[in-house]
């Protein structure tokens, strides 16, 4: 059974397919604006023994390998977000060949509440509030996390 994210409000009016197992449709929006635009992803080597989900907010560890971004009250200990992972990726114990495709630019939706309702982004559990998510990127005008305006 798959979860399929939709970006329009009347998705249920088109009906559901009559398969043995039905998909679950949920209202969500990856982006929260058009400027700056999402550009082509870049390939960055994953850290060893790392598993990252689709739309994971990612950063770089001390060795410049791709890991999940994390919040820490001491900024020097945090892993600041650099982008959003396009596809799920997993690496082995000594990774030298598995890369993640990361979009480094764009305006991303953090969701309607602190839990991220309405957004497909995957955040590390250390980002406990929407305010922490929105303030996580400093000094990069091409990567923005914010709430999507509700119409």
At residue 29, the pLDDT reads: 87
Contact 143, 134 (CB under 8 A): no
Tell me the pTM.
0.81
CATH 3.20.20.80 fits 30-146, yes or no: no
Question: In this structure, is the dihedral angle defined by the CA atoms of residues 149, 3, 145 and 75, taken in order, positive or negative?
Answer: positive
d(CA 137, CA 114): 17
Q: How far apart are CA 60 and CA 62, in angstroms?
A: 7
Say if CB 41 and CB 100 are below 8 A apart: no
Other beta carbons within 10 Å of 111: 22
43 bridge partner residues: 101
pLDDT in the model for residue 27: 75
pLDDT at residue 28 in the model: 81
pLDDT, one tens digit for every residue, the chain (151 residues): 566 666 555 555 555 555 555 667 777 888 888 899 999 999 999 999 999 999 999 999 999 999 999 999 998 899 999 999 999 999 999 999 999 999 999 999 999 888 888 899 999 999 999 999 999 998 889 999 998 865 4
Whole-angstrom distance, CA of residue 8 vs CA of residue 14? 11
């Amino acid at each position: 059974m798959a979860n399929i994210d939709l970006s329009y409000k009347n998705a249920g009016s088109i009906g559901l397919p009559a398969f043995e197992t039905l998909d679950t449709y949920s209202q969500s929006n990856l982006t929260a604006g058009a400027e700056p635009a999402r550009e082509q992803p870049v390939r960055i080597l994953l850290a060893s023994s790392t598993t990252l989900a689709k739309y994971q907010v990612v950063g770089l560890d001390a060795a410049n390998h791709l890991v999940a971004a994390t919040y820490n009250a001491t900024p020097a200990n945090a892993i600041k977000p650099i982008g959003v992972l396009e596809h799920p990726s997993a690496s082995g114990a000594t990774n030298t060949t598995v890369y993640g495709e990361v979009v480094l630019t764009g305006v991303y939706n953090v969701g309607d509440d602190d839990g991220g309702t309405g957004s497909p982004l995957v955040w590390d559990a250390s980002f406990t509030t929407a305010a922490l998510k929105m303030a996580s990127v400093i000094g990069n005008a091409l990567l923005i996390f914010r709430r999507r305006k509700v119409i």
